[in-house]
Structure 1
Amino acid sequence: MNQVMVAVEGISDEGAVRSILREFNLTVHLTLGRNGKAALLSKISAYNDSAKYMPWFVLVDLDSPDTCIVEKLRQWMPNPSEYMLFRVAVSELEAWLLADREAIAQFLGVSVDRVPRNPDSLKDPKQEIINLARRSRRREIREGLVPRQGSGVAIGPTYASDIRNFGESMWRPKVAAEESPSLSRCLRRVEELANKLYKNTDALKDHLRET
C-alpha cells in the first residue's frame, strides 16, 4: 500500500506534495481540498475518520512565522488517527520551495544570490517569489507569476499552475530541507508513515503466505 490520500489548500501545493511523497516511494491516490484553508479545515474531521483505515497527508500553511506551530497542530488535529499525517508549512509552502535556492533561481530566471536564506522566517514567502519573478530574465515568468497592474488580484494568471509544475518537476525536497526546519520535520514524519505502511504490507504478505 503506497498510495496516499492528499488534501491541500490550493492547486499550487499539489506538485510539492507529490515530490515529498515520491522521496519515500509513495504516490497520490486522490487530491482533495484546493478551496482554501477554511474549507479544508471544515472537513478535517472526516479526513481524520478516513485515516483510521487508509493513509492521508494533509498540508496547510501556518501563514505567519510568529504563530506557534505546536498550538496550531493541537487546535487543528488534536487526535490524529493512525494513518493521518497532518503537517503545517512555516509560514507557507512557498517557503519550502524557496529553500531549494538553486532550483527556484533557475526556475524564476534570477541569480541564486537574490534568493533569501532562512525562508521559514519570511513573513510572506509567496510575495517573495512574486518579487523575484519581477526581476526574471524570462518574459513568461514575469507575465505569468506577477499580477497585472490594476487587476486587483494578488498573483499572476499562471502562478498556481507554474508553481505546481515547479514543485513536481524541479524542486528537491531533501535539498530544501537543509534550509527549512519545518520541511525537515515534515520529511521525517512522511518517512515514518512510509515505514508503517510498508511494514503493514509486509505483515499482510506474511499472513497470506501462512494461510
Structure 2
Amino acid sequence: MRNAISIRIAVEDALSEAVLRHAIASRPVRYEIGAVYSRGGFGYLKKQAGAFNNAAKACPFVMLTDLDQNECPPTLVASWLSGRPKHDSFLFRVAVREVESWLLGDMARLASFLHLRNRPAILAPEALADPKLKLLELALRSRSRQIRDSLVWRDDLSGRLYQGPDYNATLTCFVTEHWDISTARLACPSLERLFAALGRLEGKFV
C-alpha cells in the first residue's frame, strides 16, 4: 500500500474543516492530516498565510478560506502573500464566495436535509452574492423546528437573519453524512479547482 501523504491544514471554522476533510477523504490516495490550524475566521489565516507558505517547504499545507467580497481568488492570494511566490506544496484554496456555496451545489440532498417542501433551483451557487444568507433563508423555510432553531435566528427589529447556535455542528452533520461532493463539484468550479490542486500534489508522490 502506498504511504499516506502527510499534510497540515488551516481553515476558518469547524464547517470549513469538515468540508476540507471530506474532500481529502474522497481522494483515491490516503492522506494523514497532522496539525489543524483554526482560530475562528479569516483574520488569523490572513495573518499566518506567509508562515504557512514557508512551512509548506517542509510538509504540504492546505489552507481553505472564503472569497467573501474580494474581487477574485488570485487577487486574494497575492494580497495575503504580499506578492511573494507561493510554494508548490502550499495549496491556498479559496471557496467562491463562501464554503456554503459548495453545500448548495448538492441542492437535492441539502433540501432533503433541511426538510424543505419544495427544492429550489440554484444552478450556479458560486454566482450568489451571499451564499450563507441564501442557506439561512432556506433554513428558515424548514418544516423542522429543530433545523430552524439550530441554523438561523431572525432579529425581530431589523428582520435580518443570523447564524443559529448550532449552525456549524448541524451543517457538519450534513457534510459528513449526506453531502455528495461529486455532485457539488459539477456546480462549483472553485471546489473542482481544489480537487485539481490535490491531484497535482499527489502527482509528486507517485
Q: 1:11 aligns with which of 9, 14, 20?
A: 14
**3-state SS in 1 of match to 2:113:** helix
Give the 4+ runs in structure 1 shifted more than 3 A: 148-153
Identical residues among aligned pairs (%): 31
* Count of matched residue positions in the alignment of Structure 1 and Structure 2: 197
Work out the CA distance in 2 between the residues paired with 1:121 and 1:26: 31
**CA positional deviation for 1:115:** 4.7
Larger RCO (CA under 8 A, 6+ residues apart): 1
Give the superposed CA RMSD: 2.1
Contact kept in structure 2, 1:8 and 1:33, CA below 8 Å: yes
1:38-187 correspondence runs (5 A): 38-64=43-69, 67-77=71-81, 78-111=84-117, 113-147=119-153, 149=155, 154-187=162-195
Q: TM-score, normalised by structure 1?
A: 0.85
Q: Which runs of 5+ in 2 are unaligned?
A: none
Q: Are residues 75 and 153 of structure 1, via their aligned partners in 2, closer, same or farther at CA, if it must alter by over 3 Å?
A: same
**CA positional deviation for 1:38:** 1.2
* Letter matched to residue 174 of structure 2: F
Work out the CA distance in 1 between the residues paired with 2:188 and 2:102: 6
Q: TM-score, normalised by structure 2?
A: 0.87
**3-state SS in 2 of match to 1:9:** coil
Mapped pair 1:30 → 2:35: yes
* Letter matched to residue 118 of structure 1: A
Contact kept in structure 2, 1:4 and 1:57, CA below 8 Å: yes
Contact kept in structure 2, 1:18 and 1:27, CA below 8 Å: no
Work out the CA distance in 1 between the residues paired with 2:89 and 2:117: 41
Q: Which runs of 5+ in 1 are unaligned?
A: 200-211
Contact kept in structure 1, 2:50 and 2:80, CA below 8 Å: no
